[in-house]
Amino acid sequence: MYRETEIIKDAPQFGEPGFGDLVINVGPQHPATHGVLHLIITLNGETIKDIKPNLGYIHRSIEKMCESLTYRQFIYVTSRMDYLSAHINNHACALVVEKGLQVEVPERAQVIRVLFDELTRIASHELWWGAMAMDLGAFTPFFHSFRERETINVIMEETCGARLTMNYYVPGGVMWDLHPDFQKRVKDFITLYKKKIHEYDELVTGNIIFQNRMKGIGYISPEDVISYGCTGPVARGSGVHSDIRKVSPYSIYSKLDFDEVLETGGDSFARYVVRIKEMHQSIKIIEQLIDNIPEGDFQAKTKAVLKLPKGEYYQSVETARGELGVYIVSEGGTTPYRIKFRSPGFSNLSALNHMIKGGKIGDLIAAMGTLDLVIPDIDR
Partner 1 sequence: MWSFSEIAKNIDLWLNDLVGSTWALVLEMVIAGVAVIGLFAALGLVLVIMERKVAAWIQIRLGPNRVGPKGMFQSMADTVKLLVKEGMTPDGADRLLFNVAPFIAMIVAMLLMAPIAFAKDFQLWDMNIGVLYITAVSSLSVIGILMAGWASNNKYSLLGAMRSGAQIVSYELSGGLAILAVVVLTGSISLTDIIKAQENGWWIFKGHIPVIIAFIIYIIAVTAETNRAPFDLAEAESELTAGFHTEYSGMKFALFFLAEYINVFIVCAIGATLFFGGWMPLHIGNWQAFNHIMDYIPSSVWFFGKTFFLIFLIMWFRWTFPRLRIDQLLNLEWKYLLPISMINLLLVTLIAILGWHF
Partner 2 sequence: MFIKDYIKDIASALKSLATGMKMTGYYFTHHKEIITEQYPDNRDTLVLAERFKGEVVMPHDENNEHACTGCTSCELACPNGSIKIITKFDVDAETGKRKKAIDTWVYHLDLCTMCGLCVEACPTNAIKMAPTFEHSVFDRNKLVKKLNEDGSKVRAGVE
Partner 3 sequence: MSKNDKQKSFLETFPTGKETESVFPGTIHELPGGGIVTSKLDDVINWARSNSLWPLTFATSCCGIEYMAVAGAKYDFSRFGFEVARATPRQADVIIIAGTIVNKMAPVLKRLYDQMADPKYVIAMGACAISGGPFFYNTYSVVKGADHVVPVDVYIPGCPPRPEALLHALIALQQKIKSGMTREQIREGKDIV
Q: Is 2 in the site for partner 1 (CB under 8 A)?
A: yes
Residue spans of beta strands (DSSP E) within the chain:
22-26, 38-44, 47-54, 169-170, 173-174, 311-318, 323-330, 338-342
| Three-state SS at 107 | helix
What is the amino acid identity at position 113?
A: R
Q: Is 192 in the site for partner 2 (CB under 8 A)?
A: no
Of 89, 159, 231, 282, the residue at the interface with partner 2 (CB under 8 A) is 159
Closer of 130 and 172 to partner 1 (Cβ): 130
Q: Count other Cβ atoms within 10 Å, centred on residue 113.
A: 25
Q: Is 309 in the site for partner 2 (CB under 8 A)?
A: no
Orientation of helix 107-135 relative to helix 182-200, angle to 10°:
30
Strand partners for 52: 40
| Three-state SS at 235 | helix
| Residue 362 interacting entry, from partner 3, partner 1, partner 2, none, C-beta within 5 to 8 Å by type | partner 1
What is the amino acid identity at position 213?
A: R
Q: Is 58 in the site for partner 3 (CB under 8 A)?
A: yes
Quick note: the x/- pattern for partner 1 over 201-240, rule CB under 8 A, is: --xx--x-xx-xx---------------------------
| Residue 7 interacting entry, from partner 2, partner 1, partner 3, none, C-beta within 5 to 8 Å by type | partner 3
CB 322 within 8 A of CB 231: yes
| Residue 164 interacting entry, from partner 3, partner 2, partner 1, none, C-beta within 5 to 8 Å by type | partner 3
Of 18, 31, 137, 206, the residue at the interface with partner 2 (CB under 8 A) is 206
What is the amino acid identity at position 107?
A: E
CB 157 within 8 A of CB 86: no
Distance CA 189, CA 272 (A): 22
CB 339 within 8 A of CB 332: no
Size of the residue set binding partner 1 (CB under 8 A): 34
Of 14, 59, 61, 137, the residue at the interface with partner 1 (CB under 8 A) is 137
Q: What is the CA radius of gyration of the chain?
A: 21
Of 107, 199, 224, 260, the residue at the interface with partner 2 (CB under 8 A) is 199
Using CB under 8 A, list all residues that contact partner 1. Answer: 1-3, 22, 24, 30-32, 43, 46, 133-140, 142-144, 147, 203-204, 207, 209-210, 212-213, 360-363, 365
Site of interaction with partner 2 (CB under 8 A): 69, 72-74, 76-77, 140, 147, 150, 154, 157-162, 165, 167, 170, 175-176, 179, 199, 202-204, 206-209, 211
